[in-house]
Amino acid sequence: MSFQHAARSLTVVLVASAIGLAFAWFAGSGSVPLAGLPAVFACALIAFGVNWLAYIPAALFQSDRFYDTTGALTYLSVIGAACTAAYGARGGLELQTLVVAGMVAVWAVRLGSFLSTRIHAAGGTDVRFEKIKVNPPRFLVAWTLQACWVIFTASAALVIITNPAPAPIGPFFWAGAALWVIGFAFEVIADDQKRRFRADPANHGKFITSGLWAWSQHPNYFGEIALWAGILVIAIPQLSGLEWLVVFSPVFVTLLLTKVSGINLLDAIAKKRWGDDPAYQAYRARTPVLFPRPPRG
Domain extents in the chain: 1-100+112-164, 167-297
So what's the pLDDT on residue 147? 97
Mean pLDDT, residues 80-89: 98
Residue 123's pLDDT band (boundaries 50, 70, 90)?
A: low
Position 64 pLDDT exceeds 80: yes
Mean pLDDT, residues 256-269: 87
Out of 1-10, 175-184, 243-252, least confident range:
1-10
Mean pLDDT, residues 121-142: 78
Mean pLDDT, residues 121-139: 75
Percentage of residues in the chain with pLDDT exceeding 90? 79
CA distance 292 to 216: 5
Are 193 and 211 a contacting pair, CB within 8 Å?
Answer: yes
pTM: 0.93
Are 126 and 67 a contacting pair, CB within 8 Å?
Answer: yes
Higher pLDDT, residue 231 or 269: 231
**143-178: burial string, b at 16+ Cβ within 10 Å, e else:** bbbbbbbbbbbbbbbbbbbbbeebbeeeebbeebbe
Mean pLDDT, residues 237-252: 96
Residue 297's pLDDT band (boundaries 50, 70, 90)?
A: low
DSSP per residue over 82-132, as a string?
HHHHHHHHHSS--HHHHHHHHHHHHHHHHHHHHHHHHHHHTTS--GGGTTT
HEC per residue, 119-161: HHHCCCCCHHHCCCCCCHHHHHHHHHHHHHHHHHHHHHHHHHH
Out of 133-137, 226-230, 251-255, least confident range:
133-137
Position 1 pLDDT exceeds 60: no
CA distance 62 to 155: 31
So what's the pLDDT on residue 35? 95
pLDDT tens per residue across span 166-217: 989 999 999 999 999 999 999 999 999 999 999 999 999 899 999 999 999 9
So what's the pLDDT on residue 63? 87
Q: Round to the nearest angstrom and report the end-to-end CA distance of the chain.
A: 55
